[in-house]
Amino acid sequence: MPNILFVCHGNICRSTMAESVFSDMLNKRNVKNINVSSAATHNEEIGNPPHYGTREKLRREGIPVIPHKSRLLTQADGDQYDFIIGMDEENLHHMHRILGEDHKHKISLLLDYTPDPRAIADPWYTGNFDQTYQDIAEGCTGLLNYLYREGYLHSEKKEWFTNSEKCGIMNSREKL
């Protein structure tokens, strides 16, 4: 089973939201034995819990917030995780810098797993946690479909693959 790490600037908004959303999707499908976590590319928020806007949006959506304190992405994460997923191009730049060349094939953006690859805006600056949630839910659905389609996960419930044909990714691993 794959190990998945979501990454953003401070690890209090987008990556923690993605960790909670994706973990909830897995739990609802009774998928076990996948390590899902999140990390930051910068140290300003290290040790802090998820942003109140993230916590509030997840509460409104009925998604449990994963117990979390912000932590910094480390080179060792490159060995531990199979998918290291950022939210924007700045994240990718710092992920490559921290993880090095040996792990570049593991790095992508979350929305690379959707029909419309793009960055996810940081709600720390935009204040728009609703849009961030929509983008993250779209990306997590695409990632889940990708994992099923590529054989990382198995299920007899074919309806989980709804729209998976649209999730043919051209991700940042292929852009390098």
Q: Point out the residues that are catalytic.
A: 8, 14, 122
For 110, residues 6+ apart whose C-beta sits below 8 A from its C-beta are: 6, 18, 85, 86, 87, 120, 135, 136, 139, 140, 143
What is the chain written as a DSSP string? Answer: --EEEEEESSSSSHHHHHHHHHHHHHHHTT--S-EEEEEESSSTTTT----HHHHHHHHHHT-PPPP----B--TTHHHH-SEEEESSHHHHHHHHHHH-GGGGGGEEEGGGGSSS--PPP-HHHH--HHHHHHHHHHHHHHHHHHHHHTTSS--S-GGGGTTGGGG----HHHH-
